[in-house]
Structure 1
Amino acid sequence: MVTKGSCMCSQIAYEFSGEPATTALCHCTDCQKWSGAAYTANVVVPRKDFSVTKGTPKTYDAIGDSGKVNKHFFCGNCGSSLYTELEIMPDVACVKSGGLDGGAANHEVKVEFYTKDRLGYAKEVPGADQVTQFGQ
């Protein structure tokens, strides 16, 4: 199975093979700034199964709560968030669900990360694991 995605203007395209390792919402303040929303919605996939197939994303490095680098990849033309590679999770890419094609963004949420930073109006997803922050 191959899942494809792209930015809003289609200058950047990517794909991953197989099933995601997990699906997650991240409520950390970094993701709030990154998305301009209460959280990011992600499919977490092995880096070895993920590739950019068109264009070259721009990057921005932020230091996360962990003290480690969160490398954000985005389209330099339309600004779409594409994926994040976290130093704290070196074997996976966190692909932003909204860019997935063919309804693939409509997935079950299995875990919510950084619930300590969850905004008051964002309610817990029933059945999803709740992780206060990485390492806890």
Structure 2
Amino acid sequence: MPTADSCALKVTAHQTKTREGVFHFTRFSSTDRTARALKVLGICWLIAAVTVLIPLAHFVLVPGFFIAGPVMALMRYKVDKAADKVAVQCPVCEKNVEIKMEASDWPPMYTYCPECNTGVELSE
């Protein structure tokens, strides 16, 4: 079962104004990672099986999805944690905001406040 986790984070705007925030992320155990990888592999191979029925395109699609399955499964297996969001009071506009993160985003990084659109730096 994936575990939700969080840690303290420093949010800086204009290299002077700083606030403490909370960085929320998800950790995946070895079993979770294996299940996620097998799911991706199964989906790719299922698509490969379905594309057998498409004339002419199946010469490219079937081998493509057949090879992409293990590659994507390996990439998915290597992911042991995924970013969720950062909860912080913006150093500029002073509003409490939640900055949504892509799963692959990880501090240190630059992003924008969703309220005032000011550039902020996220660092641990």
Shorter chain as denominator, the TM-score bin is under 0.3
Structure with bigger gyration radius:
2
Q: Identify, as 1 or 2, the structure richer in helix.
A: 2
Q: Identify, as 1 or 2, the structure richer in strand.
A: 1
**Structure 2 length-normalised TM:** 0.26
